[in-house]
Structure 1
């Protein structure tokens, strides 16, 4: 059954709920414009969130290192329309361009029951949600459970509860993205893949707020 125009408009305003739909691609090409920062080859990757990629329901704060979800957000017609922006999904990308090395960052999440953290190709489709295509790899928290996601496939992650802070460990050459328990300083789950193009940290948020912590050394023992 087709959705009414009002429902479609509401979905666009709210960035849709990741707990209800997985999304689709409309096959629109994405510009190859180089919007990212220079390549980082060291272990202490530092980044900010890129406002030009943020859905209109997301507000950046704390010098673009954090993001807050607004129920309806800004009317999409009032936000600068660029090929970099996610128009249907409450997603924002970081301004980092990673094509080598091992990197670690952490994320603090407050008052949120639905979010995704991981990486995506720099030029991943803006018409799909991160985790639903083959160019993004994320860990999703929804309905009090954790999942590893890519290409729309969900694999349960045995992480009990929702910690306030989690870590992400990326080994580009090895094709490994790991979710880290920051309290125990241990890997909880690893997504294995083969990165074929530059990637950047990616975040989806459907309520609450999220704060990123970059410029960190990889903890000993990981």
Structure 2
């Protein structure tokens, strides 16, 4: 009722609707701006103006003052009314103003406010419920009677007539409250399961979000680290370039000076020889024997030949010692500088080459043949008659590497070009050597990458994951980051393709592990 009273107070006396842009006359009455403008327009030319509410007269057209306070009240009321109309059910019998209903009568199919509820019939056929707009749904569509029972056989709500003479005659039925309680119990169980599943999903989402944040943070840190590393490498390369070019320039200047000096000496020698040749030719052209014999005392041909040999030997020695750049020395400087940078990269990322991996013949299955260099393994139908030891695999054609990896970062490669059916991986030394659990990847102590005729699979603890692509090159790289708990596999195609990464916490040293399923061979090699 308070809502109706307030609405009446907020109504414009001209249009009888709630105020729109309310304005106030000098007499204090309020109207919609459009409404009062229209009234004043009709009064224009009549010799005066008057308020439609109190009839107070104005000689001049009155100014309209916006009533901001009233406008705010109206806007608040409108928003409240909108919410009520969306959420409340109003009394069917309050036709002048909307009044919220407190009950609905299923028999009358009407909603009642407090006032109308007091005078409503109390007879049994008038069934009162919470306010509802769907009272028609509470009656049987066939018999137009109230629905009172639930038939589990047909999963339908029925009336008394349906139970006695209708399609549900003879069916076991339940009261609506009882059936609803049973269904509510089932729904609660479902709700409990769904809630638990949602919580588990939320935890997984949160975990994945944390993983994503960790990946982003690690990516950011690694990006900064690599950027700084390459900046330092570029600086070192520039310094090395300057040092090598400076050495080339120095050698060039030194050699050029020596060669210029030798050229100058030879040019002087050439001029001297030319003059001597001219004198000798003049002497040879003389016809007076006496003059020839007298002049010949000024040349000693033996001394000249001896001097020429000494000069030639000295020049040849100079040319031999310094007529070419020291390419070997320059190459050594380049190689040393680049090697130092590579060592710096390896030290920065703790990368250790696994060049010393050899196959351990004491672990080899007896049908496996091992090459003399302990690098290549092949399968044969002929048993090798090796002594049976606790380390030897008894049921699968497998072999381990002899080197232990208790820490650090390492990589090694396998040439698989001569086999179509193989596995590479790593395992703990405590892996079983006989039985099903001795198979690489079929236990918690080993991790393997398998290829079965154009199909690749990774396996750990008997759980297999089929990869979407096959190996496209002839080499597979295995990369171990022990402290990070990561074991990764790569296809050494161009560019290198990541195949899969196992993530765990290693608890024992690791050994390289190989399995061969056909008559081919595979070769293990160290990192480059």
Task: Give the alignment's TM-score, normalised by structure 1.
Answer: 0.73
Distance 2:504 2:465 in 1: 14
Is the contact between residue 114 and residue 205 of structure 1 (CA under 8 Å) also seen in structure 2? yes
Superposition pairs of residues 1-222 of structure 1, within 5 angstroms: 43-45=352-354, 46-70=356-380, 72-74=381-383, 78-127=385-434, 128-183=438-493, 184-207=495-518, 208-214=520-526, 216-217=527-528
Deviation at 1:199, TM superposition (A): 0.8
Is the contact between residue 415 and residue 474 of structure 2 (CA under 8 Å) also seen in structure 1? yes
- Structure 1 stretches of 4+ with a deviation exceeding 3 A read none
Is the contact between residue 48 and residue 94 of structure 1 (CA under 8 Å) also seen in structure 2? yes
Extract unaligned runs of 5+ from structure 1: 1-40, 218-222
Is the contact between residue 158 and residue 188 of structure 1 (CA under 8 Å) also seen in structure 2? no
Extract unaligned runs of 5+ from structure 2: 1-349
Is the contact between residue 480 and residue 486 of structure 2 (CA under 8 Å) also seen in structure 1? yes
Number of residue pairs aligned between Structure 1 and Structure 2: 173
Structure ranking higher in helix proportion? 2
Distance 2:401 2:442 in 1: 18
Q: Tell which structure's C-alpha radius of gyration is larger.
A: 2
Residues 153 and 175 of structure 1, relative CA distance in 2, 3 Å threshold: same
Is the contact between residue 115 and residue 141 of structure 1 (CA under 8 Å) also seen in structure 2? yes
> Residue 507 of structure 2 aligns to a residue in which SS?
coil
Distance 2:513 2:522 in 1: 12
Structure ranking higher in strand proportion? 1
Deviation at 1:161, TM superposition (A): 4.4
Tell me how large the CA RMSD over aligned residues is: 1.6
> Residue 52 of structure 1 aligns to a residue in which SS?
helix
Deviation at 1:73, TM superposition (A): 2.7
